[in-house]
Structure 1
Amino acid sequence: MKNIFKILVLSLFFVACKQKIQTTDIAKLNGYWEIEKVVFDDGKDKDYKMNESYDFFEIGKNNAGIRKKVMPQLDGTFLVNDTYENVKVRFENDKAFLDYATPYAKWSEELITLSDKELVLKNKEKATYHYKKTGPINLTDDGKKTE
């Protein structure tokens, strides 16, 4: 009986710890995100020590916007191109999803964690993508702040 009680308490603890994404949290998605690692469904993971590109999100008040790949430069600027993905945030069954669309494909990712510094997304193959919030790199101009 004691073991059943312990299992029940632990189960409730893990369920309670899962972040519920609110509509007010979506603004935190805006900005530059650098991937840190991918954890695959089989438990293996791939760490990213250095990234040549960041994901840039811009989501408006209607929970729709874009995601672009941008390449940070040493002077604090970014190389960008005209390629982007349309993104819509969808809430369903107490979960949040990012629905992407391009002229060639449509797909969704579940929004697992979203804070000012951390983003975790899960795709349909159950791989989780862990990102950290980042910004411009400026190794020139004697450390002057990049606007």
Structure 2
Amino acid sequence: MKNSVAFLFVLLLFVSCQQKIKTEDISKINGYWEIEKVVFEDGDDKDYKVNESYDYFEIGKDNSGFRKKVMPQLDGSFVVNNTQENVKVRFVEGQVFFDYVTSYAKWSEELIVVSEEKLVFKNTEDREYHYKKATPINILGDGKKTK
């Protein structure tokens, strides 16, 4: 009996601490994001120390937009190409999904966490992708402001 009560308490604590993502939180995603790590279903993770590309999100008020890969440059700017993934944000029973479409594929990811500095998606293979807000690189030390 004691084990059942303890289990229910822990379960209630876990559910109450889970972030509820609201429509207005989606605007926090706009901008540049750098992947920090991927957590696999078995709990193992892969850390990313250096990233050659960042993800740039632009989601409008109609909850649609795009994601594209950009490459940071040493002067703080980004190289961008025309390839992008169209995305539509979908709210279903307290969960938030990003539905992606390209010429080659369609897939969905669940948005687990969103804040000004952190972003976590989970895909259908139960892999969690942890991002941090990207900051410009400027190793030139010339005192010029980065873009």
Q: Which moved more, 1:2-11 or 1:31-40?
A: 2-11
Tell me the amino acid that sits aligned with residue 119 of structure 1: L
1:103 aligns with 2:100: no
Q: Distance in 1 between matches of 2:141 and 2:119?
A: 31
Cα deviation for residue 103 of structure 1 reads: 1.0
Q: Distance in 2 between matches of 1:143 and 1:103?
A: 43
Count residues in correspondence.
Answer: 147
Structure 2: stretches of 5+ with no match in the other structure: none
What secondary structure is seen at the aligned counterpart in 2 of 1:142? coil
TM-score (norm 2): 0.96
Counterpart residue number, 2:24: 24
Counterpart residue number, 2:65: 65
Counterpart residue number, 2:115: 115
Structure 1: stretches of 5+ with no match in the other structure: none
What secondary structure is seen at the aligned counterpart in 2 of 1:26? helix
Indicate the percent of aligned positions where both proteins have the same amino acid: 67
What secondary structure is seen at the aligned counterpart in 1 of 2:21? coil
Cα deviation for residue 58 of structure 1 reads: 0.5
Two-structure CA RMSD over aligned residues (Å): 1.1
TM-score (norm 1): 0.96
Q: Which moved more, 1:38-47 or 1:64-73?
A: 38-47
Tell me the amino acid that sits aligned with residue 16 of structure 1: S
Counterpart residue number, 1:139: 139
1:80 aligns with 2:107: no
Counterpart residue number, 1:94: 94
Cα deviation for residue 141 of structure 1 reads: 5.3
Q: Distance in 2 between matches of 1:133 and 1:141?
A: 22
5 Å matches for 1:4-23? 4-23=4-23
Q: Distance in 1 between matches of 2:11 and 2:141?
A: 53
